[in-house]
Structure 1
């Protein structure tokens, strides 16, 4: 090892910071950030938690699309005996860094311990903002085809649409990738009413948060980008007082 330190003293904590609001971050996550010798992360996420960091900690930031480099650097520092926190938006285990960390650790034969601290994921925070759309079975599907072929994503959409799942759409649209959300709506319309409620949340809990309630017929009229999460209701989902609600089934069972 380059430092000559015993790597048993090193540790990696993968920290989920939630949607962005500091008061929605878990106390355990804040403690991990305060105790880390080195904090590694995407610079936008680091900016969100800057006030939670120990002034004595070294901060290593990088830009978007450098996930592998960040994870590898964090693991290398850990193996050198350093206490490292790797910052992730949302929850590390949901479309985030936890899996990649373990894949790289396996390939590197890393020895130091790795802990995952969960955070509020986009589907949780957006559902809470919208009301209660995820009260029954749901599926989450990312439309990003950077690492998953679009043909597979489309098969998954076609599988969940007729099963009447509430569907949470991650990464619905980017500047270069605009057709996938259009095709998603087409697939859903083959199995669901055009007036099915749809919730669209961008920048959840942050200063630029926007929330729109619309329908499957009209959802493409709304602004949708990479910071947007789209929740498409099932056949029972309704809107009441500007809140999106999917019944769990209590009224049928107990006559509410």
Structure 2
């Protein structure tokens, strides 16, 4: 008897009572009908789809980091590490999303820029949740969403919950590292500020002769995330500078000046400064 299926046996099922199982699961027909360009310029479609793809990556990365934060809270480091590591290629793919629109000339961008109106990326609720998970909290960033009760409520909840880094520092404390009480019991709705004793704790972690310890591996995956977030912010800055120079941004933002300020921010700061003392 042959181990190879016959051509007839290999033929996929092509007849379904309703929509295909693929459509039912992926809902591709919904995704591919969400693009509604507002100008006559054919390049606007690339800008619109690229932006929507970024929103999907934000959604996935927020899911991973929320999973990691919950696992860290219950001292389940393997589950947290798995989620954090999954987010690395997802962040890389998010950064690659800039490629279709990264080299727009000012004339090309201006051809459909008016379609954005007052719209701006800083108004993205899902990206704001991503930033909150990194510890970059700001109650003022809820204001643009007050007209959307669901988004506002989700962001308000995310604002008041510990960030991934808050949960990491809680884990370090439970592992016997000296994390100060004012850090462990700080108001999680406030932006995280670096602390010298947290830097000292990471210094001790990295000075461990066992460079394959689980805490060193945790520190390294967080450093990978921080680097990729920096690359995301920097790529955004460069793409914007190419497309519009130093003109004011949409939505009343300062454009490049705003993005330069964002790109200068360091995620998980003590992980970087501690390396100078190991």
Q: Give TM class, smaller chain.
A: under 0.3
Larger helix share, 1 or 2: 2
Question: Which has the higher Rg, Structure 1 or Structure 2?
Answer: 2
Q: TM-score, normalised by structure 2?
A: 0.26
Q: TM-score, normalised by structure 1?
A: 0.27
